[in-house]
Amino acid sequence: MKIPFTKMHGLGNSYIFINVFDFPIEEKILADLAKAVADKDTGIGSDGMILIHPTESADVGMRIFNKDGSEGKNCGNGLRCVAKFAFEHQLVDSKQFTIETKAGNVSAEIHGDQIQVNEVTVDMGVPILKRSEIPMLGEDLDQVVAEPFEVQGDNLEVTTISMGNPHAVFFVDDINKAPLTTLGPVIEKDQRFPESVNVEFIEQVNDQEIHFRVWERGSGVTQACGTGACASVVASVLNGKLEKGKEITVHLAGGDLYITWAEDGRVWMRGKAETTIEGTFFMD
């Protein structure tokens, strides 16, 4: 099978995008296809795969698959890339439109024009805080903020947020010493998170900036995570480290995202989306 693809990234968080408006793909091969395209040696190399598909409920639909073939429900960097792709390929006819995800519909706005999309803003919706809806096991509190969390003998504090997908946020004094590759994979699969979890480490810089590193569920260390950046700003506000209603610059390994947890409860994300390769993937 010869599959046309576009490789895009948001701040280095890269996905292989397949436009299934033009090229329908059988459901049963999706997990294997995601693993195959993501493989850097025998495939293209990416953090996963995203399908851009027709839908009745929004202007365009998106499905995200992690590097290990598991399906996520939301992807902030992917949303900005899908918005750029849909606008540039005229799947939509205005700069503001809606995108369906498995976590619900969001709206996106293009900054730029057909020649150059500079940035995309996405209304990421209202974060979910209730413990059972993260989901996280334990007493069903309305929010889990700075809760003691013992892992491999380390006594940490966790704040959990769902942006349609689950995030466990930990504050550290020095981002360069965050236990990303040691505790990241352990926390990802911790039994307290029945659907596994994306793991973020945050260092507060001042009242407008944070440093951010992520171990993503199903993909491991990535250069950036849009939903994780949103979750981290929400977690910082809940811990009294940042103010609601202010735009926060999140410094990720791959660049900056601008996130606001607005007074009305909605989270806004603004940042770049870029195209790197177009081609054909050969699959047996």
Ligand X SMILES: N[C@@H](CCC[C@H](N)C(=O)O)C(=O)O
By C-beta, is 18 or 282 nearer to ligand X?
A: 18
> Which contacts of 121-124 are long-range, i.e. CB under 8 A and separated by 24 or more positions?
121/268, 121/269, 121/270, 122/76, 122/79, 122/80, 122/83, 122/226, 122/268, 122/269, 122/270, 123/266, 123/267, 123/268, 124/76, 124/79, 124/163, 124/226, 124/227, 124/230, 124/266, 124/267, 124/268, 124/269
SS3 label, residue 174: coil
DSSP assigned state of 272: -
Asked if 11 is part of the footprint of ligand X (rule: CB under 6 A), the reply reads no
Q: Give the one residue of 77, 159, 232, 260 binding ligand X; rule: CB under 6 A.
A: 77
Beta strands in 218-254 (DSSP E): 220-222, 247-252
Contacts to ligand X from residues 128-147, by CB under 6 A? none
Q: Where is 117: in which H helix or E strand?
A: strand 117-123
How near is the Cβ of 112 to ligand X at its closest, in Å?
20
Candidates 129, 156, 225, 250; catalytic one: 225
Asked if 254 is part of the footprint of ligand X (rule: CB under 6 A), the reply reads no
Q: Give the one residue of 6, 13, 46, 101 binding ligand X; rule: CB under 6 A.
A: 13
Residue type, position 220, single letter: G
How near is the Cβ of 205 to ligand X at its closest, in Å?
21
What's the token pair of residue 87? 């606008």
Q: Where is 230: in which H helix or E strand?
A: helix 226-238
Q: Give the one residue of 43, 61, 76, 127 binding ligand X; rule: CB under 6 A.
A: 76
Query: How many residues contact ligand X, by CB under 6 A?
Result: 19
By C-beta, is 36 or 75 nearer to ligand X?
A: 75
Contacts to ligand X from residues 169-228, by CB under 6 A? 198, 216-219, 222, 225-228
Give catalytic status of residue 81 as yes or no. no
Query: Known binder of ligand: residue 217?
Result: yes
- How far, in Å, CA of 222 to CA of 180, rounded? 11
How near is the Cβ of 68 to ligand X at its closest, in Å?
9
- How far, in Å, CA of 148 to CA of 267, rounded? 26
How near is the Cβ of 260 to ligand X at its closest, in Å?
16
Contacts to ligand X from residues 147-176, by CB under 6 A? 165
Query: Known binder of ligand: residue 176?
Result: no
How near is the Cβ of 200 to ligand X at its closest, in Å?
11
Give catalytic status of residue 230 as yes or no. no
Q: Give the one residue of 49, 58, 64, 144 binding ligand X; rule: CB under 6 A.
A: 64
What's the token pair of residue 243? 């103010």
Say if residues 217 and 188 touch (Cβ distance below 8 Å): yes
Say if residues 106 and 164 touch (Cβ distance below 8 Å): no
By C-beta, is 181 or 282 nearer to ligand X?
A: 181
Asked if 72 is part of the footprint of ligand X (rule: CB under 6 A), the reply reads yes
What's the angle, vertex CA 16, arms to CA 184 and CA 211, rounded to 5?
35
Annotated binding residues, written as ranges, equal 13, 66, 76-77, 165, 198, 216-217, 226-227
Active site residues: 75, 225
List residues binding ligand X (CB under 6 A): 13, 64, 66, 72, 75-78, 165, 198, 216-219, 222, 225-228
